[in-house]
Each structure stands twice: as C-alpha cells, then as structure tokens.
Chains A and B, each alone.
Chain A
C-alpha cells in the first residue's frame, strides 16, 4: 500500500530533551516536506527536500533540523524542544516537479512539550 508513515503518533516530552520524528514513504517520491498545524494558523512548512541531500528552510524552521540521506526517509529532529513547539506535525511527500504540490500526508504526530 502506498503510504507515508510517521512515528510516533503521539509524543510527550520535556523541555530540552532531544527527539526525532521519523517519516518514510514507499512511493519513490522526490519531494518531502514537514508541516506543523496549529489552531487558527493552518499548516505551516518547516523544512522541505527536493531530493536526496537537498534540503531547504520553509516558513518556520527555527528549532528544527532535518536530513535526507535516503530518498524514502526524512526525519525531523528537535535538538532542544520548547513548549512553543507543542503542535501537530505532518510529513508529506510528492513526485516533485510541477506536481510537487500534490502532497500525500502521513497520519500526523501530536507532540506535547512540557
């Protein structure tokens, strides 16, 4: 089944404790992206990757890191989480090129930073 898999679905952590949210897609997509969704603010892009080893900042990159060592994986790293990073996170992927906006989303990760 074609899908974008995120883990974990729910995560509660404390301020400053490094965490990684994993994202994997099995559709051979070139483009991958991370979004956070907050009430009233919609989906905001954190980082995106056009292809392996190519990553770039989105609208809200502060406090986040990403890497794209393999085509299928695009983990999101919070080196020192803070309470303002409490949010619902979505990983998404697409074929890239003109169709890169036709995104397939993962199931989401609800993160709470205490």
Chain B
C-alpha cells in the first residue's frame, strides 16, 4: 500500500464547476498536509497546507482534513482553465519526512 494515494485521473470538470481532489494516507501519526500544483513542464508550487481537522479556505481553494478517516481533499471553486494542472498531495508522517502522492491530473474545460 502506498503511503499517500491519489486518484491519478485525469479529472475533467467544466469551467465554473467545483473540482474535488482527494488524497488518503496510511500513517496515522501524520501531522501536516500539503497541496502542491504542478503545471505541465514546470516545477511544483505550494498552494495550500492544513494541520488541523476541518476546513481551511484560501480564495477559491479549500483544503479539508479528516484525520480519523485519514483523508485530505482540495476543493477548487469556480474552476478556471488556468487551474488545469497536476495536483500533488503531500503528507508529513510520524518520521517527520514529507511524502508525496503521485498526483491527480485536472483538466478544466472551457
């Protein structure tokens, strides 16, 4: 079992819709959770992080964390074509090292 699992997609949503990206992790001692965005041919960039159960909102992005169920999600409201990218979930486990999922490819259709 992978430590951090994501549906590889591709996930396609129409412009203006809500895109929902999900991630599960196996280490119950995980403390910190991150979402990185990677445009095709570019390097990853941090867009969201969350440490506590619940929701954290930043503009059109909302990160949701449920430690009991060991999942973290990213919602993108009012999706735009410029949101088309691969979204990487990353989790800091009990050993304090960051582990990345393999990413979900999102396409927002105009």
Contacts of B102 in A (CB 8 A): 40-42
Residue pair B100, A43 in contact (C-beta under 8 Å): yes
Interface residue ranges of A37-85 to B (CB < 8 Å): 40-45, 48, 58-59
Contacts of A106 in B (CB 8 A): 43
Contact of A105 among B32, B34, B45, B99 (CB under 8 A): B45
Nearest A residue to B2, CB-CB: A42
Interface size on A, residues (CB 8 A): 19
Given contacts A101-B32, A101-B34, A101-B98, contact A42 B88 (CB under 8 A): yes
User: Bound complex: CA of A106 vs CA of B42, how far in Å?
Assistant: 9
User: Bound complex: CA of A48 vs CA of B99, how far in Å?
Assistant: 13
What is the size category of the interface that chain B forms with chain A?
20 to 34
User: Bound complex: CA of A101 vs CA of B95, how far in Å?
Assistant: 13
Contacts of B101 in A (CB 8 A): 42
Interface residues as binary, A82-101 with B (CB distance below 8 Å gives 1, 0 otherwise)? 00000000100000000011
- The prevalent SS among residues of B at the interface is strand
Nearest A residue to B98, CB-CB: A101
Contacts of B92 in A (CB 8 A): 101
Residue pair B43, A105 in contact (C-beta under 8 Å): yes
Nearest B residue to A48, CB-CB: B97
Interface residues as binary, B3-41 with A (CB distance below 8 Å gives 1, 0 otherwise)? 010001000000000000000000000001010100000
Q: Which residues of B contact A (CB under 8 A)?
A: 4, 8, 32, 34, 36, 42-46, 49, 88, 90, 92, 97-103
Q: Which residues of A contact B (CB under 8 A)?
A: 35, 40-45, 48, 58-59, 90, 100-103, 105-108
Query: Could you pull out 7 A-B pairs where Cβ atoms are within 8 angstroms?
Result: A43-B88, A48-B97, A58-B97, A59-B97, A101-B34, A105-B44, A108-B42
